Amino acid sequence: MYCSNCGYELTVKEREKALSSGSHQGKSNTQQVFVCPRCGKIIKEGLNEEEIKGVARASHSEIHKANNKLNTAKSSLVIGAILLAIGLLFFILCFKPKNNNKFELGCTEFYVFVALSLLSITLIVLGIVFFVSGTKKKKKYSELLKDIQNGVFNQ
């Protein structure tokens, strides 16, 4: 079930939890009516044409949010990769020619390498997480829009 106001998907587990706790609105003409946990509007079965249009608008909004998340992920990955490359250059600078190209642990270049490496790994991991979640969200709401367009959407 989808909220026609914000596009939140009410899963089966959330519906069962609401039914068992009594936090749903009840039955009206054999329809289950629930309250959206995100926006507080009523979610019901058997939507009319205007409510289906509301779900479509909310789906477009969620796809837009997913695209923003994907763009954030891509830029985070690129910035993380650039910082990792710069960090590796500083790691190479840790091998001092005055010590017969031996690695020096206490030099400033090593601390810059560690800081850049930590920052770049954090950005790369965040980018991967945002990319996966954005892709899943975009795919889910694109399929919902296809179902609405083909007339097979059923709440």
pLDDT surpasses 60 at 144 = yes
> What pLDDT score does 30 carry?
58
Nearest 5°: phi and psi at 2?
-115, 145
- Ranges of beta strands (E only) in 10-99 are 26-28, 31-35, 42-44, 95-96
- Ranges of beta strands (E only) in the chain are 26-28, 31-35, 42-44, 95-96, 102-103
pLDDT tens-digit map of 54-88: 888 999 999 999 999 999 999 999 999 999 999 99
Question: To the nearest 10°, the Cα dihedral for 26, 28, 34, 35?
Answer: -100
Rounded Cα gap, residues 4 and 54, in angstroms: 5
- Name the residue with higher pLDDT: 128 or 44: 128
pLDDT tens-digit map of 29-54: 556 778 888 888 888 777 788 888 88
> What pLDDT score does 152 carry?
82
Q: How confident is the model at residue 123 (pLDDT cuts 50, 70, 90)?
A: very high
> What pLDDT score does 139 carry?
96
What residue type is 78 in one-letter code?
Answer: V
The residue assigned the tokens 């800081």 is 115
